[in-house]
A = this chain, B = another copy of it.
């Protein structure tokens, strides 16, 4: 292992249990991780705030919870069960340093990693493979392992992707989790040029990424968001913007949409299926308005629909994303940056959904 002026202790934020914001604890005495065989140590430049960090904290993934994410976002859910409250259904190891997005610099390498990697600027893949298990096994950086809400973090070397870019750390840290989630959905649904793609939750991190990534494929994008964000969502490239809460089938013709990219679910879910044409595709990676929906199985089969649940991400998705960034095909969208110490304020702002674009945390240098 090669070490290069690395301190023994660092500042970071640990999650001490499922619950409210009080479960996040700022510490200045956390041990700096030691990269093991095949691993690299990264000095974190910036890390984004994501739904998945909050969902995990509040225990929303527990099957005991059936409400909207926001209902418990500040205080947690009483009905959450600690045993299945992680997204993978496996109890989380606690305490845990969360943080799914990471831009930083490799400052040390473990055994069997080329020391030439020291000094490389990298983006860490948020949804990482588990090499010893079956094809779909994966872990989220900052969930099943410690993530980037700290000055240093470690990861397997193959999950740290070098990037050549003139963007800032904060800008680069805005991409990994949200954009790879969105690109994976678009890829699973095989969005093609000239297709009509409807995106729910379009002002959120994944939704706004999906607008850019669908436009990148020359699709025709219809975006749904709150009234106060319609202008900004339009500016992101959406061809048509619909105000959240309006009856979609009043505005759009049945059978007029090729692909739905859904992060919302909730009461309006059945309308999404009415909008899809025969043979249409529905991709989902979130359910912020509530996960329990009523499905008429006849709609699924008589319209030859395909539904794609999107969590696992093949490596190619992140490889492609790096290329899109390096070629300037997608733009970062930063709403605000905060010192890491202000994580509670950042998460409260995130939950209040006043911003379009990412909120990014900057650890002390």
Report which A residues bind B (CB closer than 8 A). 61, 63, 66, 87-89, 134-137, 262, 265, 269, 277-279, 284-287, 291-312
A262 to B301: give the CA distance in the assembly, Å: 11
Is A298's CB under 8 angstroms from B308's CB? Answer: no
A304 to B284: give the CA distance in the assembly, Å: 9
The residue in chain B whose Cβ has the minimal distance to the Cβ of A300 is B309
* Given A294-B292, A294-B294: A284 and B309 interface contact (C-beta under 8 Å): no
In the assembly, how many copies of this chain are there? Answer: 2
Neighbouring B residues of A300 by C-beta, 8 Å:
284, 307, 309
A136 to B306: give the CA distance in the assembly, Å: 13
Neighbouring B residues of A303 by C-beta, 8 Å:
309, 311
The residue in chain B whose Cβ has the minimal distance to the Cβ of A185 is B301
Is B278's CB under 8 angstroms from A301's CB? Answer: no
The residue in chain B whose Cβ has the minimal distance to the Cβ of A265 is B297
A309 to B280: give the CA distance in the assembly, Å: 10
Neighbouring B residues of A137 by C-beta, 8 Å:
278
Interchain Cβ contacts under 8 Å between A and B, 30 examples:
A63-B296, A63-B298, A87-B302, A134-B277, A134-B278, A136-B277, A136-B278, A136-B279, A136-B304, A265-B297, A279-B312, A284-B300, A284-B301, A285-B301, A286-B301, A287-B301, A291-B298, A292-B297, A293-B294, A293-B297, A294-B294, A294-B295, A295-B295, A301-B309, A301-B311, A302-B311, A304-B310, A305-B307, A306-B307, A306-B309
State how many angstroms separate the Cβ of A140 from the closest Cβ of chain B.
Answer: 11
A135 to B287: give the CA distance in the assembly, Å: 31
A297 to B137: give the CA distance in the assembly, Å: 19
Neighbouring B residues of A292 by C-beta, 8 Å:
294-297
The residue in chain B whose Cβ has the minimal distance to the Cβ of A301 is B309
Q: Which of A63, A87, A294, A311 counts the most B-chain CB atoms under 10 A from its CB?
A: A311
Which 4 A-B pairs have CB atoms at the shortest separation, nearest pair first? Answer: A301-B309, A307-B307, A136-B279, A300-B309
A278 to B301: give the CA distance in the assembly, Å: 22
State how many angstroms separate the Cβ of A351 from the closest Cβ of chain B.
Answer: 19
Neighbouring B residues of A265 by C-beta, 8 Å:
297
Neighbouring B residues of A294 by C-beta, 8 Å:
292-295
State how many angstroms separate the Cβ of A206 from the closest Cβ of chain B.
Answer: 12
Is B279's CB under 8 angstroms from A297's CB? Answer: no
Is B61's CB under 8 angstroms from A278's CB? Answer: no
Partner of A278 from the list B269, B285, B287, B312 (CB cut-off 8 Å) is B312
Is A302's CB under 8 angstroms from B61's CB? Answer: yes
State how many angstroms separate the Cβ of A211 from the closest Cβ of chain B.
Answer: 20
The residue in chain B whose Cβ has the minimal distance to the Cβ of A133 is B278
State how many angstroms separate the Cβ of A6 from the closest Cβ of chain B.
Answer: 36
Neighbouring B residues of A307 by C-beta, 8 Å:
300, 305-307
Is B309's CB under 8 angstroms from A88's CB? Answer: no
A317 to B296: give the CA distance in the assembly, Å: 26
Partner of A287 from the list B89, B277, B284, B297 (CB cut-off 8 Å) is B297
Neighbouring B residues of A286 by C-beta, 8 Å:
301
The residue in chain B whose Cβ has the minimal distance to the Cβ of A184 is B304
The residue in chain B whose Cβ has the minimal distance to the Cβ of A273 is B309
Known: A61-B298, A136-B277, A300-B307. 11 other contacts (CB 8 A): A89-B302, A269-B297, A279-B312, A287-B297, A287-B298, A287-B301, A291-B296, A299-B309, A301-B309, A301-B310, A301-B311
A265 to B294: give the CA distance in the assembly, Å: 13
Partner of A279 from the list B135, B262, B277 (CB cut-off 8 Å) is B135
